[in-house]
Structure 1
Amino acid sequence: MEIAENAALIVVDVQEGFEAEAWGSRNNPEADQNIAGLIDAWQSSGRPVVFVRHDSPKPNSPLRVGQPGNDFKKYVEERRGKGSGPELLLTKSVNSAFYGTPDLAEWLDRSGIRQFVVVGIQTNMCVETTARMGGNLGYEVFVPLDATYTFDLTGPWGWTRTADELTRATAVSLHGGGFAKVVNSAELIAAAE
């Protein structure tokens, strides 16, 4: 695996609001540790890091601006501004980081970035949507599955899927569909070094 010197790490929605019990059962308890490790690797190598925050417009959302849940998790906030490479704070109110402010594609293109890694919360929502759009826009996208997590979910007709089932479905769709290469954090860290 080859990671470009200017490959961006996009850290999606790693916010306190996802600690709320209302989300239900989550998977991958090692995700936060893996996200922190990737941020450290990217920052120490001088590569760009994009911190994405979901500013929900929904009045009862724990991710709403002004609520404590809107804040980045402590380990992310402590790392912001610590790298030697470029850094961007992007806010959004929908799933894809490509529909945020400032314009992600414009920032990537202006910086000559054609490769990026997506980590964060939730695997099957904002991480997957950002990865899919990146693939559609012609970027080379990597998703370290062990640096993401999600929650059990109920859909139409009472169908339910566990967080692990949803994660596997995302991995198959992204990798099998050619949107992104699904890998693990250790592989990326080794390649970035």
Structure 2
Amino acid sequence: MTTALLLIDVQKAWDDPSWGVRSTPGAEANVARLLAGFRAAGRPVLHVRHASANPASPLHPDQPGHGFKPEAAPRPGEPVFTKSVHAAFLGTGLEDHLRAHGITGLVIAGITTHLCVSSTARLGANLGFAVTVVSDASSALSLDDGEGGRIPAETAHRVALAELRGQFAAVQTTDEVLAGL
């Protein structure tokens, strides 16, 4: 089985204070460790970035936040897929690329655990890929609960991982993933 690292939306926009506090403060450092490990092992690395249609969004292509964080910057030859919805498989050519290159496993990390990471992991599993989500290399935002309260980012992160675990993905830490390379 060929397994690729798939980084989801590790973009500068998430540093904008308007998003609030994110879970997993060490996520970007762990993304950098995963990148180094996959590159050293000669394993495929793929990048996904979100392009918001809203010109005021920090994720809009005309905004500086659209760029990748330095820890997750693609190297020449590493494919970059741009999406405008949550799941990285929709409208991007990602699935075709994976199948054309014989990639059957995905190690997914990025931002945000409860939205784009989860959507991509779920769809990837439904398409038949073996999916692992890296718990300490992904992060979530706090959520409005619709009843006047807020769900803390760490809780949103833990719940998203719990929903994926065993149903759509394995959930591992960066150290566990790197040990398996």
Common topology (TM > 0.5): yes
TM-score range, shorter chain: over 0.9
The letter for the 1-side match of 2:103 is: I
C-alpha distance in 2 between matches for 1:75 and 1:142 = 20
Structure 1 residue 26, shift from structure 2 partner: 1.1
Structure 1 residue 80, shift from structure 2 partner: 2.0
C-alpha contact 2:31 2:71 (8 A) present in aligned 1: no
C-alpha contact 1:90 1:100 (8 A) present in aligned 2: no
Normalised to the residue count of structure 2, the TM-score between the two structures is 0.96
C-alpha distance in 1 between matches for 2:104 and 2:149 = 38
Where structure 1 has 5 or more consecutive residues not aligned to the other structure, the ranges are none
The letter for the 2-side match of 1:120 is: G
How many residues matched? 181
Picking from 128, 143, 146, the partner of 1:138 is 128
Picking from 56, 76, 90, the partner of 2:72 is 76
1:113 alignment counterpart:
103
2:115 alignment counterpart:
125
Alignment of 1:1-193 (within 5 A): 4=1, 6-77=2-73, 80-81=75-76, 87-101=78-92, 103-176=93-166, 178-192=167-181
C-alpha distance in 2 between matches for 1:131 and 1:48 = 17
C-alpha distance in 2 between matches for 1:158 and 1:94 = 27
- Once the two structures are superposed, residues 49-102 of structure 1 have per-residue CA deviations (whole angstroms, 9 ceiling, x without a partner) of 11111011012100001110000012222x523xxxx6211000010100142x
C-alpha distance in 1 between matches for 2:52 and 2:135 = 24
C-alpha contact 1:121 1:150 (8 A) present in aligned 2: yes
Structure 1 residue 159, shift from structure 2 partner: 3.9
The letter for the 1-side match of 2:178 is: I
Runs of 4+ in 1 over 6 A off after TM superposition: none
Q: Percent identity?
A: 40
Where structure 2 has 5 or more consecutive residues not aligned to the other structure, the ranges are none
Q: Residue 148 of structure 1: SS of its match in structure 2?
A: strand
C-alpha distance in 1 between matches for 2:156 and 2:27 = 15
C-alpha distance in 2 between matches for 1:116 and 1:25 = 28
Structure 1 residue 168, shift from structure 2 partner: 1.1
C-alpha distance in 1 between matches for 2:16 and 2:179 = 33
Give the structure with the larger helix fraction: 1
C-alpha distance in 2 between matches for 1:122 and 1:76 = 15
C-alpha distance in 2 between matches for 1:100 and 1:15 = 19
Superposed CA RMSD in Å reads 1.2
C-alpha distance in 1 between matches for 2:149 and 2:174 = 31
C-alpha distance in 1 between matches for 2:21 and 2:14 = 11
